[in-house]
Amino acid sequence: MRLAVLSQKPELYSTKRLVQAAQQRGHDAVIVDYLRCHMNIASRRPTIVYDGEPLAPLDVIIPRVSASSTFYGTAVVRQLEMMGVYTPSSSQAIARSRDKLRCLQILSRKGVAMPVTAFGHSTQDVRGLIAGVGGAPLIVKLLEGTQGIGVVLCETQKAAESVIEAFRNLDANILVQEFIQEAAGEDVRCFVVGGKVVAAMKRTAAPGEFRSNLHRGGHGEVAKLTPEERSMAVQAAKAMRLGIAGVDIIRSNHGPLVIEVNSSPGLEGIEQATGVDVAGRVVEFVAKDAQSRRQLGHDQ
């Protein structure tokens, strides 16, 4: 099977591990930088040109689209879908997961538990926005932020009002979310592949930091999930229609809560923390699912 990892950076751990895992399982694996692709959009004949040459036929892609290139990256994934190439996460699913507001609205509609969240446009009723999540302390999140960037803990009402007004005066879209103090700077990253949690790690924030992201100095270790947490992670990935997803959960006094669903979760931290060959599980799933869908299509 000819498999491509769509990635801007071939040197990244996740990209290299996916290629390595695919090659170890006998697949012809390549890296395609989606930003170096251009698309020819013609009636019934969608094609992609890569570095000046038609892109060689592919059976499977594993999209690793960066947050900063979501628009162009999902356009390339969509073009490949039109060309009949299998992807575990559709272009639409990736785009929806990158929109934090839309993601939370979808999870809400599907009944997935999450922190109380508010969203507004005007600065005229900042106090109402704050009251909607139970008051300070609270979290303010930029909709476009990733890896903990653009996430601010406001410990007092006055601080919350100042931060929200500042972001809104910059015309930035923000979410206001209740702060789960009892989580104590910890969350759980669940790596979901094909409707199953294949690995999970607990992430603990660095001293003096409330964000547990490994990119911000957090520490990862293997996590033991409760049946409820495992079911919730699978439900969240399914709601977002992602075949591969990183689902982040925090443990509150009233049960686990989903705080984010990531369509391109990193492999390095979770493989090192858990010792699980996550890349191998991803490749095995996409190869099996692509073959099943192809056979189903032939049968029809």
Domains parsed from the chain with CATH numbers: 2-96 (3.40.50.20), 117-179 (3.30.1490.20), 182-280 (3.30.470.20)
pLDDT digits (tens, 9 = 90+) for 70-128: 999 999 999 999 999 999 999 999 999 998 899 999 999 999 999 999 887 766 778 88
Take residue 208 and report the two structure tokens written for it: 């003096």
| CB contact at 8 A, 261 and 242 | yes
| Helical pair 13-24 and 278-299, crossing angle rounded to 10 deg | 60
Peptide bond before residue 137 is cis, with ω within 30 degrees of 0? yes
170 DSSP 8-state letter: T
pLDDT at 212: 59
pLDDT at 106: 96
Contact indicator for 218, 270 with CB cutoff of 8 Å: no
DSSP H or E stretch at residue 274: helix 268-274
pTM: 0.87
Q: What is the mean pLDDT of residues 211-240?
A: 85
DSSP class of residue 109 equals H
Q: Please tell me the predicted confidence (pLDDT) of residue 299.
A: 46
Span 169-182, pLDDT tens digits: 888 788 899 988 88
Query: Which tokens in the block code for residue 117?
Result: 């969240």
CA angle 227, 232, 235 (to 5 degrees): 125
